C-alpha cells in the first residue's frame, strides 16, 4: 500500500493561494515550499502541492486545465461533523472562495464544498455510519 498522497494543483498566484488555505486553518511544510510551489498539509499523510503554472507545466506535456471553466477533478475530504463541513465552507468563502452548490443532506452523509481561488473544487463530507440509510 502507498503511504502518502500528494495532489499537485496548478495555481496562478502562489502567495494568494497560500493565504487562502491558511485562512482555512491549514499549514504548509516549509521544507517543501519555495517560490515555485508550496506543500499544503491537509491531514496525516495527505498533501497538496500548490505549483505555479510554469513549474506545473514541467510535469506534463498536456495543456493545463482552466479549473474555473472545466472540472479537472473533485477533491473530497472527510470531516468529523456537519458543523466542521459548514465551518470550512464558511472560511473558504470568507477568504475569497465560492460555494457554488447548496449543502447536500443524504441522511447518513452530509456534504458541501467550495472552489478555491483557482477554481479547484474541494468537496467536504461527514458520513455517519449509524444514521438511517447508511450503506
Q: Could you list the pLDDT tens digit for every one of the 135 residues in the chain?
A: 889 999 999 999 999 999 999 999 999 999 999 999 999 999 999 999 999 999 999 999 999 999 999 998 999 999 999 999 999 999 999 999 999 999 999 989 999 999 999 999 999 999 987 866 655
In a domain, 68, yes or no: yes
The reply to whether 133 falls in a domain is no
In a domain, 45, yes or no: yes
State how far the Cα of 29 lies from the Cα of 69, in Å rounded to an integer: 30
Is 59 among the domain residues? yes
Asked whether residue 20 is domain-assigned, the answer is: yes
Q: Give burial (CB, 10 Å; 0-12/13-18/19+) of 4.
A: exposed
Residue 10 located in a structural domain: yes
The three cell numbers locating residue 91: 472560511
Overall number of domains in the chain: 1
Q: Is residue 46 part of a domain?
A: yes
For residue 135, the model assigns a pLDDT of 59
Residue 73 sits in a domain of what CATH number? Answer: 3.10.180.10
pTM (two decimals): 0.90
Give the range of the structural domain holding residue 69, as residue numbers without chain letter: 5-127
Amino acid at each position: 500500500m502507498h503511504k502518502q498522497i500528494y495532489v499537485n494543483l496548478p495555481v496562478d498566484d502562489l502567495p494568494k493561494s497560500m493565504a487562502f488555505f491558511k485562512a482555512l486553518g491549514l499549514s504548509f511544510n516549509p521544507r517543501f515550499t519555495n517560490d515555485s510551489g508550496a506543500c499544503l498539509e491537509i491531514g496525516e499523510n495527505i498533501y497538496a502541492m500548490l505549483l505555479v503554472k510554469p513549474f506545473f507545466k514541467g510535469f506534463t506535456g498536456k495543456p493545463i486545465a482552466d479549473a474555473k471553466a472545466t472540472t479537472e477533478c473533485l477533491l473530497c475530504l472527510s470531516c468529523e461533523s456537519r458543523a466542521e463541513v459548514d465551518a470550512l465552507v464558511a472560511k473558504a468563502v470568507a477568504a475569497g472562495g465560492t460555494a457554488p452548490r447548496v449543502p447536500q443532506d443524504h441522511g447518513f452523509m452530509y456534504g458541501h464544498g467550495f472552489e478555491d481561488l483557482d477554481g479547484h473544487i474541494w468537496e467536504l463530507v461527514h458520513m455517519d455510519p449509524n444514521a438511517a440509510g447508511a450503506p
